[in-house]
Chain A
Amino acid sequence: GEDVEQSLFLSVREGDSSVINCTYTDSSSTYLYWYKQEPGAGLQLLTYIFSNMDMKQDQRLTVLLNKKDKHLSLRIADTQTGDSAIYFCAGGGGGNKLTFGTGTQLKVEL
């Protein structure tokens, strides 16, 4: 099955850009997702990208997909303290069958 890996922790200063990385093993995933989880809360879908796309931009968020290296990244521009959370990448072929990474805890410092 799919294996999805993320670095565990990232610390940035407010106003800087954050880049959260993810690698995956199963190239058959149709969609690749980024979720945000704040403490004690559920998962919030931030954005997703089709596997046939290289890049998707949505306001402060930029998703890059390198299919050759099976590498997915999420860039958050002008990071704010409200962006502090755990970020999960996930891959899936549809039907709610998602494989999640272990999550990256983003800490934004003043």
Chain B
Amino acid sequence: NAGVTQTPKFQVLKTGQSMTLQCAQDMNHEYMSWYRQDPGMGLRLIHYSVGAGITDQGEVPNGYNVSRSTTEDFPLRLLSAAPSQTSVYFCASSYDRRGEETQYFGPGTRLLVL
């Protein structure tokens, strides 16, 4: 299993550009989510999904869109990039079986918006 994969690893955007951060998992996990990590603020939840076709907003959803057309993929779209979106983005997936939940994180995408 590859686990949780994210592409690209690094990206530089100009203000106003749009892009999609890709996330995929091959563990047949029901739950997937996106976090951003900023210095001194830990990780904050952007959007999450509890299954294909179902998404919901997290703590900091503004400026981001998601969709979940398959169990495996959960892309994050930046509609019009802003410098405030410079951050490290982590995708995560998990299952919840027999009361034992395990979370898996991808390696992260480092985004710089100029």
Contacts and interface: CB of A to CB of B under 8 A. Distances in A.
Contacts of A35: 105
B48 A42 contact: no
A96 B33 contact: yes
Given A43-B90, A95-B48, A102 B103 contact: no
Q: Which range holds the interface residue count of chain A? A: 20 to 34
B102 to A, nearest CB: 7
Interface in A19-74: 31, 33, 35, 41-45, 48, 50
A96 B43 CA distance: 12
A85 interface: no
Interface in B69-109: 90, 92-94, 96, 99, 101-108
Given A95-B31, A96-B92, A103 B42 contact: yes
Interface string B13-54: 000000000000000000111010000111111001010000
Contacts of A45: 102-105
Given A31-B101, A33-B103, A48-B101, A42 B43 contact: no
A88 B48 contact: no
B48 A97 contact: yes
Interface of A: 1, 4, 8, 31, 33, 35, 41-45, 48, 50, 88, 90, 94-103
Given A4-B42, A97-B48, A100-B43, 10 more contacts: A42-B105, A43-B43, A48-B101, A90-B43, A95-B48, A96-B48, A98-B43, A98-B45, A98-B103, A99-B59
